[in-house]
């Protein structure tokens, strides 16, 4: 069995014939909605396609693979969820800002280091006084995959935490968070988008709320000191690059396909503090950021250093070369760049229209050759409450309309013709009802130059009567829409735990996770260094190490199905115990874990991985530890005893 992975033999290979038989034999009893199961399903199953891309509909037969990965924000859960598209099957939940008991994220020493190392000194001191090393939760909104030359490159997924002003990076090769950064000077990171060209150097982040840069009692009531902040983070190093002070509250952001500009919407140009104040003006704006001008100012030392970050002034009154403010109907919500690289669409939210801005005209704007309003080339009316726009790569845009509960398909070229005065043209192609009150929408590969126009998801905030009643807290509703033809077709309802704020759909060819860890992965570097200091070879030695004249004890052990290399060890009451487990199994999908009964210890150890957790042994007696991840027919017997003297 240990050579199974090396030889490339997987469970799918071994069970392939059984899968085909099951798919054929059980097909007639499969349950699915009539919109999903078409008359061609039996023929598709008989052919046993290699994936859903061959089956021609949203059904993915048992044993077959999806064509796309979907990366969903987990909202208030603080996680990122991975779905298969078009099946809408949930494949994985990646803990990011949350505590996750199955994997031990937020409990293991390795995860706590990641969660805490990127915090500001001020936050670390605050948490220390609370008896914590990091926050206990997060609010994830906008997952985005890294780019190379306008295409997804499968390296990383980045995600924001609005509640604690952080961003995180997930390594796609192992589907694990590897870095977390708190954004200084900012307050509540909401919008997050990535530089597309030449690659994801920058992660652009919107600070939604305004506050004083020197945030203390001396300034907290002086509203003249309040500023909004737009941030650029180096996505490779996860360090701050620069920030821009802006006028108003920023909402969502995006950028072009040439690496020249970023854009953010603003819903509070009034700079008010109540709903009435923030909706008083007839118009707000979007802010265009001139990346080259900002970089040159920072390089020349013209930026102000605030809490270790170079900050330039891009506010309206500053009239700098860093920013331009384009008037938009009040409270615009999102800005979404079209995959052809020519346009960006801004949604009105409190206006029934969307605005099409041409990137080339932004060049002329910064050169002083045209006015802000002249960058707008179309303004079609799509419906009540437009929020987000996505694309099919064929010249069509799809806008989510919250109040009308619809996805509206419209043609960009026709919208431009209409704006130019051709009243005979109607850019609206179709309006499709969704259920209900849709927020984000995103189509397959739509935020890259490879937009393929096959599938679209509508992330609906309410489900109401769509599913069985589960009490006052209802699920939300993710809906899958086929956009491959001339007409949109709703093909799937999927209840989901609140709140999946946003999602992206990535073709499987762009994603290539490993199945077994490299034992020399940088994630384990600290453990290997500690073991070397203790004279232990990880994966081979089993040893209890007590520091001289100390109550610190380290317990090294190996897991190999179905046993731990150490079935008992002794410690003393009050000892600070660190257990380090190395999983030496090489078989795909053979994860172990370690749970210590009654001691708040539970973590996952994947094949060839090492993980550790530290706790205080304050309870005398015998305490069992066991593997909590099913790994073997003798899984229940995989246990040991800790004796606390």
Q: What is the pLDDT of residues 535-585, one digit of tens each?
A: 999 999 999 999 988 999 999 999 999 999 999 999 999 999 999 999 999
Task: List, in sequence order, the alpha helices (H) in 452-586.
Answer: 525-533
C-alpha to C-alpha distances, 182 to 166, 175, 234, nearest whole angstrom: 4, 21, 13
Same domain, yes or no, for 53 and 87? no
- The domain tally of the chain equals 3
Last residue of a domain, one of 20, 50, 65: 65
Please indicate, yes or no, if residue 126 is contained in any of the structural domains: no
Q: Give every CB contact of residue 497 below 8 A, 6+ residues apart in sequence.
A: 77, 475, 476
- Mean per-residue pLDDT for 344-349? 94
Give the pLDDT confidence of 71-118 residue by residue, as tens digits.
999 999 999 999 999 999 999 999 999 999 999 999 999 999 999 999
Residue 225, domain CATH: 2.130.10.10
Please indicate, yes or no, if residue 106 is contained in any of the structural domains: no
Task: List, in sequence order, the alpha helices (H) in 163-316.
Answer: 275-278, 291-299
Token pair, residue 339, equals 């995959």
Asked whether 7 and 14 are in contact (CB, 8 A), the reply is: no
Run of H or E residues at 365: helix 359-366
The structure's pTM equals 0.91
Please indicate, yes or no, if residue 319 is contained in any of the structural domains: yes
Check residue 549 and give its pLDDT: 86
C-alpha to C-alpha distances, 353 to 85, 350, 431, 436, nearest whole angstrom: 31, 9, 14, 20
Same domain, yes or no, for 480 and 557? no
Residue 165 burial (C-beta neighbours within 10 Å; 0-12, 13-18, 19+): buried
Give the pLDDT confidence of 227-251 residue by residue, as tens digits.
999 999 999 999 999 999 999 999 9
Please indicate, yes or no, if residue 116 is contained in any of the structural domains: no
Same domain, yes or no, for 84 and 158? yes
Please indicate, yes or no, if residue 88 is contained in any of the structural domains: yes
Please indicate, yes or no, if residue 584 is contained in any of the structural domains: yes
Range of the domain at 545: 522-644
Same domain, yes or no, for 423 and 528? no
Where does the pLDDT of residue 345 fall: very low under 50, low under 70, confident under 90, or very high at 90 and above?
very high
Run of H or E residues at 170: strand 166-171
Token pair, residue 401, equals 């309309």
Last residue of a domain, one of 510, 543, 562: 510
Same domain, yes or no, for 460 and 475? yes
Token pair, residue 152, equals 């997804």
Is the pLDDT at 54 greater than 90? The verdict is no
Same domain, yes or no, for 498 and 547? no
Give the pLDDT confidence of 188-231 residue by residue, as tens digits.
999 999 999 999 999 999 999 999 998 999 999 999 999 999 99
Run of H or E residues at 176: strand 176-182
Last residue of a domain, one of 464, 484, 510: 510
Query: Strand 396-401 vs strand 386-391: parallel, antiparallel, or unpaired?
Result: antiparallel
Check residue 327 and give its pLDDT: 96
CA dist 177 and 64 (Å) reads 28
Give the pLDDT confidence of 256-305 residue by residue, as tens digits.
999 999 999 999 999 999 999 999 998 999 999 999 999 999 999 999 99
Check residue 13 and give its pLDDT: 45
Is the pLDDT at 48 greater than 90? The verdict is no
Where does the pLDDT of residue 318 fall: very low under 50, low under 70, confident under 90, or very high at 90 and above?
very high
Same domain, yes or no, for 449 and 585? no
The neighbour count for residue 149, using CB atoms within 10 Å, is: 13
Check residue 58 and give its pLDDT: 85
Residue 620, domain CATH: 2.60.40.420
The neighbour count for residue 120, using CB atoms within 10 Å, is: 16
How far apart, in Å, do the first and last CA atoms of the chain sit?
Answer: 40
Same domain, yes or no, for 456 and 401? yes
pLDDT averaged over every residue in the chain: 91
Asked whether 145 and 504 are in contact (CB, 8 A), the reply is: yes
Same domain, yes or no, for 185 and 282? yes
Length of the chain: 645
Give the pLDDT confidence of 386-424 residue by residue, as tens digits.
999 999 999 999 999 999 999 999 999 999 999 999 999
Where does the pLDDT of residue 5 fall: very low under 50, low under 70, confident under 90, or very high at 90 and above?
very low
For residue 501, give the nearest of 192, 182, 183 by alpha carbon.
192
C-alpha to C-alpha distances, 24 to 36, 41, 44, 89, 475, nearest whole angstrom: 18, 11, 10, 21, 33
Same domain, yes or no, for 637 and 612? yes
Is the pLDDT at 15 greater than 50? The verdict is no
Please indicate, yes or no, if residue 121 is contained in any of the structural domains: no
Same domain, yes or no, for 490 and 588? no
Query: Strand 563-564 vs strand 552-560: parallel, antiparallel, or unpaired?
Result: antiparallel
Q: Give every CB contact of residue 221 below 8 A, 6+ residues apart in sequence.
A: none
- Mean per-residue pLDDT for 582-593? 96
Please indicate, yes or no, if residue 431 is contained in any of the structural domains: yes
Is the pLDDT at 28 greater than 90? The verdict is no
CA dist 150 and 142 (Å) reads 18
Same domain, yes or no, for 421 and 569? no
- Mean per-residue pLDDT for 472-483? 96
């Amino acid at each position: 069995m240990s050579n199974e992975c090396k030889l490339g033999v997987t469970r799918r290979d071994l069970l392939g014939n059984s899968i085909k038989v099951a798919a054929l034999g059980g097909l007639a009893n499969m349950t699915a909605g009539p919109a999903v199961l078409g008359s061609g399903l039996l023929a598709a199953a008989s052919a046993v396609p290699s994936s859903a891309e061959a089956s021609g509909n949203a059904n993915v037969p048992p044993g077959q693979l999806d064509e796309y990965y979907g990366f969903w924000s987990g909202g208030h859960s603080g996680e990122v969820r991975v779905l298969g598209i078009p099946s809408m099957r949930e494949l994985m939940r990646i803990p990011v800002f949350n505590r996750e008991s199955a994997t031990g994220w937020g409990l293991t020493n390795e995860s706590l280091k990641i969660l805490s190392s990127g915090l500001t000194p001020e936050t670390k001191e605050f948490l220390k006084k609370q008896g914590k090393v990091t926050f206990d939760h997060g609010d994830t909104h906008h997952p985005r995959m890294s780019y190379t030359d306008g295409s997804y490159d499968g390296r990383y997924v980045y995600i924001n935490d609005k509640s604690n002003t952080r961003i995180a990076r997930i390594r796609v090769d192992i589907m694990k968070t590897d870095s977390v950064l708190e954004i200084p000077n900012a307050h509540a990171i909401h919008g997050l988008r990535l530089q597309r060209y030449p690659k994801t150097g920058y992660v652009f982040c919107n600070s939604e709320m305004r506050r004083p840069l020197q945030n203390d009692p001396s300034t907290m009531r002086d509203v003249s000191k309040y500023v909004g902040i737009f941030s650029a983070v180096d996505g490779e190093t996860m360090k701050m690059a620069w920030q821009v002070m802006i006028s108003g509250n920023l909402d969502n952001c995006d950028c072009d396909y040439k690496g020249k500009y970023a854009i953010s919407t603003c819903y509070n140009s009034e700079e008010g503090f109540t709903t009435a104040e923030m909706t008083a003006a007839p118009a707000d704006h979007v802010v265009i950021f001139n990346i080259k001008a900002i970089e040159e100012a920072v390089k020349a030392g013209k930026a102000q250093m605030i809490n270790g970050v170079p900050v330039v002034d891009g506010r309206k009154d500053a009239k700098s070369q860093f920013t331009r403010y384009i008037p938009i109907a009040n409270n615009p919500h999102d800005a979404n760049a079209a995959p052809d690289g020519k346009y960006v669409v801004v949604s009105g939210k409190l206006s029934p229209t969307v605005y099409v801005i041409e990137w080339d005209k932004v060049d002329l704007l910064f050169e002083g050759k045209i006015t802000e309003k002249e960058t707008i080339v179309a303004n079609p009316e799509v419906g009540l409450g437009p929020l987000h726009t996505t694309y099919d790569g064929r010249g069509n845009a799809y806008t989510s309309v919250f109040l009308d509960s619809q996805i509206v398909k419209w043609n960009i070229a026709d919208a431009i013709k209409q704006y130019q005065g051709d009243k005979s043209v109607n850019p609206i192609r179709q309006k499709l009802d969704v259920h209900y009150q849709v927020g984000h929408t995103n189509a397959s590969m739509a935020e890259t130059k490879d937009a393929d126009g096959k599938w679209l998801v509508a992330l609906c905030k309410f489900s109401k009567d769509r599913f069985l009643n589960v009490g006052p807290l209802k699920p939300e509703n993710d809906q899958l829409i086929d956009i491959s033809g001339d007409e949109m077709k709703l093909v799937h309802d999927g209840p989901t735990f609140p709140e999946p704020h946003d999602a992206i759909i990535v073709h499987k060819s762009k994603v290539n996770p490993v199945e077994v860890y490299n034992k020399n992965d940088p994630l384990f570097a600290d453990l290997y260094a500690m073991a070397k200091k203790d004279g232990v070879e990880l994966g081979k030695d089993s040893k209890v190490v007590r520091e001289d004249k100390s109550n610190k004890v380290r317990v090294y052990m190996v897991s190999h199905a179905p046993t731990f290399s150490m079935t008992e060890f002794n410690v003393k009451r009050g000892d600070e115990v660190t257990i380090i487990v190395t999983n030496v199994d090489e078989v795909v999908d053979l994860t172990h874990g370690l749970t210590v009964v009654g001691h708040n210890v539970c973590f996952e150890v994947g094949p060839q991985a090492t993980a550790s957790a530290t706790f205080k042994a304050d309870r005398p007696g015998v305490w069992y530890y066991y593997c909590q991840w099913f790994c073997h027919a003798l899984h229940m017997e995989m246990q040991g005893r800790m004796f606390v003297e």
